[in-house]
Amino acid sequence: MGGRSVPAFDLANVLPELGTAPTPPSISEGLRLSYHVAVATVSGAYVNEFLENAGANADPELPNPSGRGITQVDVVGVTPQWTALRVQPWLFHNFTGPLVPLFGADECLISHAGGGDWYAHPSVLAKVQTTVQERLKIIRLPLRLGTTTFDALRVQTDSEAGRQVLCYDLQTGFLIYKAGATDGAQGATLSQATFIGSRLLTLPWANRLLPSWAAGLPQLRYEGTYTTVAPGPFPFSVPLSTELKLTALAPNWFVYDQTTTAGSLEGMPPTVTKRTLVSGIPHLAGLTLPSPMPAELTAGRSLDTDPITGATTGIAFVGTLRSGRAGVVIRMNVGDVAWSETAYDRDTGIAMELYTYSGASPVYYERSELSLVDLPPEPPTAPRVATQLSTDRRFLTLTWPTQTGTTGTLWISLDGARTWSKVPEATDRPGTGQTMRVEVPLKAATALYRIGIR
């Protein structure tokens, strides 16, 4: 499915069984984990004192942190082998508040289904033995966070690059505490993340599939402007564009590479950034909605209120978009200091317009505006799959018609179409104009199959 994008410690390197474990019961699409985070640069003996106490009953506070905020981890997609996580940072404006999302700073992580970073399967954690080695220490202990005491597994790793301390709740498998230290020229940089809550987003389009245009793994281009307003030689606006290339997809989410180009002041080269991200149906204000759209997406409807960041999300508009096409606009609002709007095309579900605003006041803010250049082409219609059971009931023969110039991938679901995975024997098979025939082992009597064409 692809590699990770956001830097993260992979516990599967210490507990290899996580690489083959299934998704734990506590993890599902739409789950959101929230953490209070802080960063500080310190020197002297405090570094060792902090790390030795990190993840104990009385968690140490970072002295004079240079940054603090909230990190939210959303489970965007789940398959039998992988989970797709979106990691969104928030900072406290003026250091004390309110919280402001860092637009364009979100990252993705394609994780083992069993976890290894922001969560780990509890059944794997339950088997771990206490370990005390020079560079690896694993112990069980009660960990008190706020008013809650967790039965936790504390994992400490040491290397030339620094030290990591991770604590996992033995009941849910959630990462509930993380601390680390990295040496630098000005001293050691200490970081800390403390679990503050989890909840399940309730979306009116949940449990639906991607619109058909995504099956072709298209490339999308958005163009617009980035504007900065501040005292001094401002305001100024520069051209802004972003190209998105879908690289892998499941039935209801996809991975994509994003290249963003922002113009600069006269005589300076443009700024180009590249990232790998994830979006899909189980995503609040993502790049697509299902098609057709749910009828209950009516103007003024509230979709979500986050109790930690205070962000409210709802349907701001239903009607004719700036592009002239019918659609809906979803707006996320954080008081008077930040908002974003995504305008979706009614017929295809695709995001047509993207807007963000972040600023302390009307005389100091940043704003971006992007519009889709062209709608993606519709892929060829997927054919029906015919199945025939072998006489010994051990194998299935699957057949479907093909067209020259197309590529087909066979998908299987063992849980009633909730999740799908590729069939290795029939992945990216070129069409020849003849009937494709594939024999696969019989997985289960209730297995479902479908073909994706691009």
Give pLDDT tens digits for 363-393: 788 999 999 999 998 777 777 788 788 887 7
pLDDT band for position 3 (cuts 50, 70, 90): very low
231 and 145 housed in the same domain:
no
Final residue in a domain of this structure, among 200, 229, 262 = 200
Q: Work out the average pLDDT over 277-298.
A: 91
> Does residue 188 surpass a pLDDT of 80?
no
Q: What is the pLDDT at residue 1?
A: 41
Per-chain mean pLDDT for the chain: 86
Whole-number pLDDT of residue 7: 43
Total domains in the fold of the chain: 3
In a domain, residue 379? The reply is: no
Asked whether the beta carbons of 402 and 433 are under 8 A apart, the reply is yes
Give the pLDDT confidence of 10-53 residue by residue, as tens digits: 788 888 899 889 999 999 999 999 999 988 877 666 777 777 77
- The domain boundary, picked from 139, 170, 200, lies at 200
> By residue range, what is the domain housing residue 113?
11-200
With a cut of 70, say whether residue 8 has pLDDT above it: no
Q: Do both 221 and 316 map to the same domain? A: yes
Q: Say yes or no: 364 and 440 in one domain.
A: no
pLDDT recorded at residue 183? 72
Alpha-carbon span 424 to 115, nearest angstrom: 23
Residue 175, pLDDT > 90, answer yes
Contact between 267 and 168 (Cβ < 8 Å): no
pTM attached to this predicted model: 0.83
pLDDT category at 191 given cuts 50, 70, 90 is confident
φ, ψ at 96 (rounded to 5°) = -110, -20
Question: Is the domain of 32 the same as that of 130?
Answer: yes
| pLDDT cut 70: percent of the chain above it | 91
- Six-digit token pair at 349? 């579900």
Q: CA-CA distances (angstroms) from residue 124 to 169, 171, 172, 370? A: 12, 11, 12, 45
Tell me if 101 is assigned to some domain: yes
Is the per-residue pLDDT at 5 higher than 60? Answer: no
Of 140, 175, 200, which closes a domain? Answer: 200
Would 377 be classed as within a structural domain? no
Residues 33 and 173 in one domain: yes
| Confidence tier at 6 by pLDDT (50, 70, 90) | very low
pLDDT of residue 89: 94
Rg of the chain, C-alpha, whole Å: 24
Q: Quick check: is 3 in a domain?
A: no
308/335 same-domain check:
yes
Indicate whether 137 and 174 sit together in one domain: yes
pLDDT at 97 over 60: yes
- Do 303 and 359 lie in one domain? The reply is yes
Q: Mean pLDDT lowest for which of 213-227, 232-246, 381-395?
A: 381-395
Same domain, 185 and 237: no
